[in-house]
Amino acid sequence: MKYADLHIHTFYSDSTFSPEEVVACAKSSGLSAIAICDHDSVNGIDFCKKCAEPAGIEVVPGIELTVEKSDAEIHLLGYFIDWNADWFKKKLKEMQDSRKVRIHSMVEKLSEHGIKINAEDVFKSAGKGSVGRLHLAREMLKTGKVKSFREIFDKYIGFLKSCYVSNVRFSPQEAIEFILKAGGVPVIAHPATMGKDDYIPELVGYGLKGIEVYHTDHKPAMVKHYEDMAKEHGLLMTGGSDCHGLGKGRVLIGTVRVPYDLVEKLKEESERIRREYR
């Protein structure tokens, strides 16, 4: 039986892994397909496809976007997007530039809390990638003022914490429409971390097509809960490891996998969406 891991990052966002390393890990894990879902970036897709072809691994082009409600941060995945569309790349460039402004703002706030960080070091850590909070967290650890990623996010830069700065460029509805316009299938990522299931029906009303039921942070009871929600709302059930290379302490590629036929279902849904949006 063939399997897929449908949530993987590269160093074109906040993973420590290059496309070559992602594909090598996918091959060693026996995966037939992987979805590259970098934050606000599609720069790693072509490189992953080039590396994956000789290995016989299919690469699903994806994206991960962040939106907010007043009391929740929502992550949305888009599968089988038209990642080479000029209008799509232009919008992503705006979002990446906004991310840099955000880092400067958070660095200023951290300084007020006695944690001195040079924003340029954060950008250097990001390298070719779309800079994010995980890059900032790595630099924060180097100061010795904080002891762990958990402390960093729970106390300083997690959603609505003391040094958090929003970088929202879309409303939830606009983000889903953005994915749909690109021919992609919008799916809510790791909903348990959002902690607000009440918002899922609202997202369905905007055009949400799936739920990431299977995820590294979802315990069995959560999986059952989201399976039931997916059935209730007629949504596709997706899953992935959300691997960030060694960014989360260990390599997660292949630890969460779904049957390959889900890739086919996502592809069919994307084709239906493209016909509708022509």
Domain of 14, CATH number, reads 3.20.20.140
Q: Check whether residue 191 and residue 209 sit in a common domain.
A: yes
Mean local confidence (pLDDT), 199-213? 97
Quick one: how far is CA 73 from the chain centroid?
Answer: 12
Identify the bridge partners of residue 63 per DSSP, sorted by sequence position. 78
> To the nearest whole number, what is the mean pLDDT of the chain?
94
Mean local confidence (pLDDT), 100-108? 96
Per residue in 13-22, pLDDT tens? 989 999 999 9
Total tally of structural domains belonging to the chain? 2
Per residue in 133-189, pLDDT tens? 999 999 999 999 999 999 999 999 999 999 999 887 789 999 999 999 999 999 999
Residue 150: other Cβ atoms inside 10 A: 10
Tell me, what's the pLDDT at 278? 65
Tell me the CATH number at 146.
1.10.150
Tell me, what's the pLDDT at 169? 79
263 falls within a domain: yes
pLDDT at 66 over 80: yes
Q: Check whether residue 228 and residue 247 sit in a common domain.
A: yes
Tell me, what's the pLDDT at 163? 96
162 falls within a domain: no
pTM of the predicted protein model: 0.93
pLDDT at 275 over 90: yes
pLDDT at 248 over 80: no
Q: Calculate the alpha carbon distances from 278 to 4, 48, 273 in Å.
A: 29, 28, 9
Tell me, what's the pLDDT at 127? 87
Range(s) of the domain holding residue 151: 92-157
Instruction: Provide the percentage of residues in the chain whose pLDDT is more than 90.
Output: 88
Per residue in 81-98, pLDDT tens? 999 999 999 999 999 999
pLDDT at 52 over 90: yes
265 falls within a domain: yes
Angle ∠(78,85,51) on CA atoms, nearest 5: 70
Q: Check whether residue 175 and residue 70 sit in a common domain.
A: yes
Q: Calculate the alpha carbon distances from 39 to 75, 78, 92 in Å.
A: 10, 11, 9
